[in-house]
Amino acid sequence: MRDLVFVAVMLGLLPLAVYRPFVGVLLWCWISFMNPHRLVYGFAMELPWAVAVFAATFTGAILSGELRRPRVDALTFLLLALLVCITVTSVTALGVPADVWAKHDAVMKVILGLLLTSALLTERRRVHALVWAMVIAIGYYGVRGGIFAIATGGNYRVWGPPQTMITDNNHLAAAMLVTLPLMNYLRLQSQHRVVRNGLAVAMALTLLAAVGSYSRGALLGLCAVAALMWWRSHAKVLSAAVLAVVLTGAITFMPPQWMDRMHTLGEYQADGSATGRLELWGISWKLALDRPLLGTGFTGPYTREVVDRVAPGGPARAVHSIWFELLSEQGFVTFAVWLAMTLTGAYWSQRLIRSTRGRPELAWAHDLGRMSQASLVAYVVSGTFLSLSYWDFYWTLLVVIGATWSIARRAEQPAPAAARHGSPVPAGWRAA
C-alpha cells in the first residue's frame, strides 16, 4: 500500500516538473537527499526516480526556454572539469571495471543534476525554496533520530535510511551537522513565530540525533560548528550561554557508554578503529604517490589487488577520509579540482558576509553566507573521518552559495539610467 501511494504521488509530480522546471529541481533534491523511496517496500524502492525527475526537469527547462542563457560561474567550470577528470581516471582505473563505471555513472548523474540546478537557481525565492528542500530532506532524519534518542534514553545508535549514502551512523551525523546551520538560516528568515519555534525544536532534536549517533567525528564537527557560530554571533555572551546549555544538556542526556566511546578520542593509540584509519590513510597516500596523476580510479582502495601494489596484505576497504579517498582514487590533479570547489564556496561565503553587512535588503544573503560557512566547516571537519567525497548534498550547498553570491552581486550593481528614471515614452505611444 505504501508503494502505491508513493508511486501515485510521484506520477502526479512528474508532469509538474515539466510544467514548472524548478519544481523538478526541488523534487530531484528531495529524492536524492532524503531517499523517500527507501522508506517504502516493494517495487517502488528500486525504480530510478532521480533519473525520471531529471529527465522531466530537463525537458521542462528546454521547453520553457530557461536554459537559453544558463548562469555560468567558477563552480560550473569546476564541475565540468571534475566530470572530465573522473572520466579519464575511470578509463585508466585499476579496479573492477563494472564497479568503476557504476560509481562513475552515479557521480556523473550528480554533476549533471547540479549543472541543471545551477542554471535554474536564478532568484532569491528559488534559493530559499531549495534550502527548505535540503533542510526537510535531512531534517526529517534529524527530528526522527532525536525522538528515537529520547525514547530509548540514548542507548541505541541513530542510523540513516538503508542503501543510501547516509545509511551509516557516522555519515548521517555529518549530514545533520551540515544541515543544522541551514535550519538556523531558515529560522532567522521566517516571519511566522510558529515556523521559527518549530525550526528551533527541529534543531534541538537534530543536535541530539547527531550526538546519539555515537560518531566521534561528528562530535569534533559539532564543536567546530559551535565555535564558528559563536564567533559569527552578534551577542557573544548570550550565544556562549545558549550553546553551553544546549551542548551540555545533550551530552549529559547520553548514557555512560556514549561517554566511554568519546573518551577514546584522546586514546587513539589504544583504539583499534582509530589505528585502523591511520593505516588506511597511510595506504591511500602510498596509492596516490604510486599514480599521482590518475590515481587508482573509483573503488581502487577497496580492491585487494590494487592495495597489494603498495601494501601487500593491508586492509582494502573504505578509506574513512574525504581527503585520502580523493587522493587515492583520483590522484592529485582531480583532487586539486575537487578542493577548489570547496575553496570557491568558502570564498563566496566570506564575500557574502562582508559585502552584504549592514544592507537590510540583502540581510537574507548575509545570514545565508554566515550559516553556509558553518556548514562548510561541519563538512570539512566531520568528513576528515568519513568517506563522503562525492556527497551530492554538499555539492548542492556549494551551488546554493554560488547562486546567492551571483544574486547579491547583481543587487549591488546600479540600475541603468532608464530603469532608475523611467524610459521616455515615444510620442506615438501616448494615449490620445
- Same domain, residue pair 265 and 388: yes
Residue 299 lies in a domain: no
- Same domain, residue pair 151 and 29: no
Residues 119, 67 contacting (CB under 8 angstroms): yes
Confidence of residue 265 (pLDDT cuts 50, 70, 90): low
Query: Which comes out higher in pLDDT, residue 226 or 266?
Result: 226
| Full residue range of the structural domain in which residue 170 is found | 70-271+312-409
Residue 420 lies in a domain: no
Residue 124 lies in a domain: yes
Three-state secondary structure along 372-414? HHHHHHHHHHHHCCCCCCCCHHHHHHHHHHHHHHHHHHHHHCC
Would you say residue 264 has pLDDT above 60?
A: yes
- Same domain, residue pair 65 and 149: no
- Same domain, residue pair 99 and 61: no
Q: CA 387, CA 382: separation in Å to the nearest integer?
A: 10
- Given the C-alpha cell 532567522, which residue does it identify? 188
Confidence of residue 425 (pLDDT cuts 50, 70, 90): very low
Q: What is the largest CA-CA distance in the chain?
A: 91
Would you say residue 76 has pLDDT above 90?
A: yes
Listed residues 18, 40, 69: the one ending a domain:
69
Confidence of residue 424 (pLDDT cuts 50, 70, 90): very low
Q: CA 103, CA 301: separation in Å to the nearest integer?
A: 13
Average pLDDT over residues 390-418: 85
What single letter denotes the amino acid at residue 82? L
Residue 282 lies in a domain: no
- Same domain, residue pair 65 and 162: no
Number of domains in the chain: 2
Residue 280 lies in a domain: no
pTM recorded for the entire structure = 0.89
Which residue blocks in 233-271 are alpha helix, DSSP H?
A: 236-253, 256-263
- Same domain, residue pair 57 and 130: no
Average pLDDT over residues 226-255: 76
Residue 12 lies in a domain: yes
Cell of 277: 584509519
Residue 422 lies in a domain: no
- Same domain, residue pair 47 and 131: no
Burial 228-263 (b: 16+ CB within 10 A, else e): bbeebeeeeeebeeebeeebeebbeebeeebeebbe
Count each helix (H run) and each strand (E run) in the chain, helices first: 17, 0
Looking at residue 44, its pLDDT comes to 78
- Same domain, residue pair 250 and 399: yes
Tens digits of residue pLDDT in 3-23: 788 888 888 889 999 999 999
What is the average pLDDT score of the chain? 87
- Same domain, residue pair 174 and 40: no
Residue 1 lies in a domain: yes
Looking at residue 200, its pLDDT comes to 93
Looking at residue 39, its pLDDT comes to 83
Listed residues 23, 38, 69: the one ending a domain:
69
- Same domain, residue pair 64 and 83: no
Residues 337, 85 contacting (CB under 8 angstroms): yes
- Same domain, residue pair 136 and 257: yes
Listed residues 69, 89, 108: the one ending a domain:
69
- Same domain, residue pair 187 and 244: yes
